[in-house]
Amino acid sequence: MNIFTKVAAISVTSLRLAFSASAQTSIETQKSITPKAVLSELLEGNKRYMKGDVTSPEILKRIEATTKGQHPKAVTLSCLDSRVPVEIVFDQGIGDLFVGRVAGNVENVDQLRSMEFATKLAGSKLVMVLGHTACGAVKGACDHAEMGNLTALLAKIKPAVEAVKGHEEKGRNSKNIEFVNDVVEANVRQTVSDIRERSKVLADLEKSGDIMIVGAVYDLHTGGVTLLK
């Protein structure tokens, strides 16, 4: 092994240690990493999760360490669904991620304010909208369900339902899981677009390269996260 190979190996090892779920994200790590590197680490963490080979989070040490502050590297907007535990899905620990949750992973003004805080003020480098297959909120929107305050929430998903074309043969409703999952993707894309349109703070941070805003979908069957292009 020549000196260049050794240096490269040390650099990779150091990066993995910096991102390890057994050590909280430090302010030095948060400042030095790029948005693309954060995204890569989350996807690598998801691969470990899929294999059942997650890193020990050293919970008690994390609890103690994070009393002094937090420096999360990413903020996610995910669905309320209990089957998508975001930190676990990406093999992250206490202090690594800001996690916003709402049925159907739709944005509202408070979620936008929270994401602006997480990035502009708290230093996170990545904003991820995370939908999931067979989403109950999406199914409700596909079926034009109405119930109390849920009616207004589902109305935010209706544009995604309308954006998906076809599926008349098997039905444009919750019984057609292919249609539902197409709407799930469309809804994630819509939320990403809305974030850029409704938050000048986030849009400007993305334009300057300080953050990335991405959409992804979690598969309930495999545990895998697919990044949407």
Residue 132: strand, helix, or coil: strand
The pLDDT score that the predictor gives to residue 58 is 87
Whole-number Å distance between alpha carbons of 211 and 61: 29
Structure tokens at 119: 């990035």
Q: Which pTM was predicted?
A: 0.89
The pLDDT score that the predictor gives to residue 22 is 55
Q: Tens digits of per-residue pLDDT, 61-96?
A: 999 989 999 999 999 999 999 999 999 999 999 999
Q: Tens digits of per-residue pLDDT, 128-143?
A: 999 999 999 999 999 9
Please provide the DSSP assignment of 167-184 as one string.
-TTT-SSTT-HHHHHHHH
Q: Enter the DSSP assignment of 21.
A: T
In the chain, beta strands by DSSP E: 74-78, 97-101, 126-132, 212-218, 225-227
The pLDDT score that the predictor gives to residue 114 is 98
Q: What mean pLDDT, rounded, does the chain reach?
A: 91
Residues of the chain with pLDDT under 70: 1-22
The pLDDT score that the predictor gives to residue 151 is 98
The residue type of 61 is K
Whole-number Å distance between alpha carbons of 154 and 200: 25
The pLDDT score that the predictor gives to residue 166 is 96
